[in-house]
Chains A and B, each alone.
Chain A
Amino acid sequence: MPDGLADLLHDAAVLHRFVDFIEEYCKEQERSQTYVDASGLFFQYVEKLAAGIKQELGGEIDRATQFPARLPILRRNILTLKYYLRLLHALIKPAADAHTLTIPAPLIDLAAQQLQKVEGMKGSSVVILLTPEFMYFQRPHTDIKDQARFVESFIPNASFPPKLGFIELPYSQGPSFFTNLAIYHEIGHFVYEELSNFDPPHANFTALKSAMARSLSKVFGQGSKDRQAQAFAGKIIENWTQEIFCDLFAIRLLGPAFSLALVEILGMLGFLSRSASVRFNPTHPASACRFAEHIRLLEADTWLKAIKDIKPEQMKLLEKLAKEPRANYSFYLDDKRRGPDSLMHAFLDVVVPAIRTLACRVTSKAAPVVKRFDRVRRDVEDCLRVGVVPHTTSSSSHDPVSIINSAFCFYLTSLPRVLEEFEGVEAKNDVAKHSLWTKRLEMWTMKAIEDSQIQDRLRRLKGTALWSFLEKKS
């Protein structure tokens, strides 16, 4: 046996056992649960990869026995696989936990459909992960994809699904609906990351990047020598840019329901106090600044006009925060140390207009029509008021975004009245009943979205060549 082969054989056997377990785990999950399409795609990839690794390890050990010169290649490949599998390992269990009984599957399906209409995102999909953190995240995937490409060079049968993103949901919020609208912001991060990898680059994304560079020049001056500070400031501008882009992206796809959901979440996390709401930090712009951008876009898209007579408290709070004068904004590097306000002002003056343009541009085909909301709202409210899943008696179904916005406004403004109607006056202050009825409203809204998707699928199929063919056969 060549020198060093015994060690590598041991390493390969450990790796074999590891991937064997992962492969079996994925198969078992798929057998026992149902997943959204993207998760299925991810599991299939992992299974193929595992099978490929096992096959390759066996073959490589045989080859290395005959040709000891291959030992360094085998050693390098095993190291690469170990690193890559560590990345995947962190995704597999949270993805397995996110089966259709633990996530708002109709909302995820809707988001996946809308994503297809976003510029450059056709064929993309999002795997949902359940996280123990009480926060929504997008797992950056560029590193995983780079590694996957490298692994593919020696495990050719398993190629990472193109345009696959990963979004984390707090496990406690899995089955709820209204707060989970926040995933649209995370999908925005996924889109932003994809945009940054476009080849050739998207014209508006290039414009945004140069605006970011201009903002830095404005703060540091041309030809500044403090490279470290400039890099740090660049990272901060990048973070703020992404956050504003993701908010605007979400509003373009979802309308005011996203803003209202964000108010709920930030309120829960304590970010809406007077002092916290005007404070920029290195990772996030101030909530007041974000909401000012929300209001500007909602107004431009005519959503504000559409909901002007149904203002829930959350909307009033949002508008109040949005009106906060820019002079009150402050930038803190941490709890005590202040950052330069000039960076904040350069961001607001130079970068934010470019973000607006990019967000509107990439979503130009995906944005919902506000007029539909006007038509749907009354129907949805009438149904929810009597405890019925929103529906239509005409041949056309309501569009899901209108249903979501109508139901969210109804939840924020009319829940106490419904409680009183069905449970009596004394139930108005009953927390458990409030919680139960919120759950019901969420269930009915989700059912309405699911129904509208079924009807829509049938409508799209009718009149096609496939429909005529199936008609003849039946």
Chain B
Amino acid sequence: MVLSRKEILRRMRELEVSDKHNLVITPLIYKDEDDIFDADSVDLRLGCHFLLPKTLDQPFFSPDRSSATSLHVRVHVPLGQFLVVPAHQTILGATLEFIKLPSDVSGQVLTKSTVARTFIVVETAPWIHPQYRGCLTLEIANVSNTPVLLYPGRLICQLILMKIAPDHEKAKSSPNLDEIGNDASTKPDKNYFGPVYPEAPKFKDPQEDLWGIGITRVSGLKRTRLHPTKKGWRE
């Protein structure tokens, strides 16, 4: 069930921040409330920090523990200035708003239709789990043939909130479980906890991921440096 504007506002304004059903979206900046609240969604603004893709010193990007942070360069664009996204380029941005989702609500981020019509696409992994907190990292792609200017502070995407169907059977089995079957010890994701800037992906090495499904021989690419010896070039 998609949360209505009334329910969104109720959870934001009437419930204490410590309440597990409380929803946080901050800061709320608008001239009129209607500017950002629709009947079934909230519009979010583009934040001031970005991760731009770097030109790598090797011909590939390997998503592993060591290389994950080597893909981007951090950039700060203050309110009132703009960032140019070249044609067919992708960047990581973040929402200006910090979000805390309730324990019984999931969220989905969609490109605002006006923005989408400029062929700027926001989010290819749009799902947000219950209890998530942080500014949302946005994968922004300019799929058009022309460079596009992005202004931090402008509305860029919309957040749709959905209540998770209750699991009555599981909830009944223990008094400590809530209506969706979580107990008090269910914690938010620790990997991406509370960021206020866009976050680079955090990977494990491929072998760490793959041994868990029984793969013990994993190929890898190693960068080497050669130097001449009497027997020829050696590593």
Contacts and interface: CB of A to CB of B under 8 A. Distances in A.
A65 B197 CA distance: 59
A99 B49 CA distance: 13
A100 B98 CA distance: 20
Contact of A34 (B78, B188, B196): B78
A387 B26 contact: no
B149 interface: no
A34 B24 contact: no
Nearest to B135: A447
A386 B17 contact: yes
A454 B27 contact: yes
A391 B18 CA distance: 13
A451 B27 contact: yes
Contacts of B196: 389, 443-444, 446-447
B222 interface: no
Nearest to B9: A393
Contact of B193 (A387, A451, A455, A458): A387
B79 interface: yes
A382 B29 contact: no
B190 A422 contact: yes
Contacts of B98: 388-389, 391, 444, 447
A393 B12 contact: yes
Contacts of A389: 24, 26, 98, 196
Interface residues of A, number: 28
Contacts of B27: 391, 397, 451-452, 454-455
Interface string B117-148: 00000000000000001010000000000000
Contacts of A100: 76, 78
A384 to B, nearest CB: 10
Given A389-B196, A440-B194, A447-B98, A458 B29 contact: yes
A391 B26 contact: yes
Interface in B72-103: 74-79, 81, 98, 100
Contacts of A101: 74-76
Contact of A387 (B12, B79, B133): B133
Contacts of A455: 27, 29
A422 B193 CA distance: 10
Nearest to B25: A391
B78 A388 contact: no
Contacts of A382: 16-18
B109 to A, nearest CB: 18
Interface in A25-76: 33-34
A4 B190 CA distance: 73
Nearest to A440: B194
A423 B187 CA distance: 9
Contacts of A105: 76
A434 B19 CA distance: 25
B18 A443 contact: no
Interface in A110-126: none
A451 B97 CA distance: 9
B18 A385 contact: yes
A397 B76 CA distance: 24
Nearest to A99: B76
A460 to B, nearest CB: 13
Nearest to B99: A388
Interface in B180-224: 187-188, 190, 193-197
B144 to A, nearest CB: 25
Contacts of B12: 393
B13 interface: yes
Max chain B CB contacts within 10 Å: which of A382, A393, A444?
A393
A425 B133 CA distance: 21
Contacts of B78: 34, 100
A261 interface: no
A207 interface: no
A366 B17 CA distance: 32
A101 B78 CA distance: 11
Contacts of A385: 18
Contacts of A447: 98, 135, 196
A149 B81 CA distance: 33
Given A451-B27, A455-B29, A386 B100 contact: yes
A34 B79 CA distance: 11
Interface in A386-423: 386-389, 391, 393, 397, 422-423
A443 B194 contact: yes
Interface string A452-465: 10110010000000
A144 interface: no
Contacts of A33: 76
Nearest to B81: A34
A91 interface: no
Interface string A88-105: 000000000001110001
B29 A440 contact: no
Residue of A391, A423, A444, A452 with most chain B CB atoms under a 10 A cut-off? A391
A388 B99 CA distance: 8
A388 B29 contact: no
Contacts of A446: 196
B226 to A, nearest CB: 34
A192 B130 CA distance: 52
Contacts of A386: 17-18, 100, 133
A422 B185 CA distance: 9
16 contacts: A34-B81, A99-B76, A100-B78, A385-B18, A386-B17, A386-B133, A387-B133, A387-B194, A389-B24, A422-B187, A440-B193, A440-B194, A446-B196, A447-B135, A451-B27, A455-B29
Closest 7 A/B residue pairs (Cβ): A391-B26, A451-B27, A389-B98, A447-B196, A100-B76, A34-B76, A388-B100
Given A383-B17, A443-B196, 6 more contacts: A34-B81, A100-B76, A388-B133, A389-B24, A443-B197, A455-B29
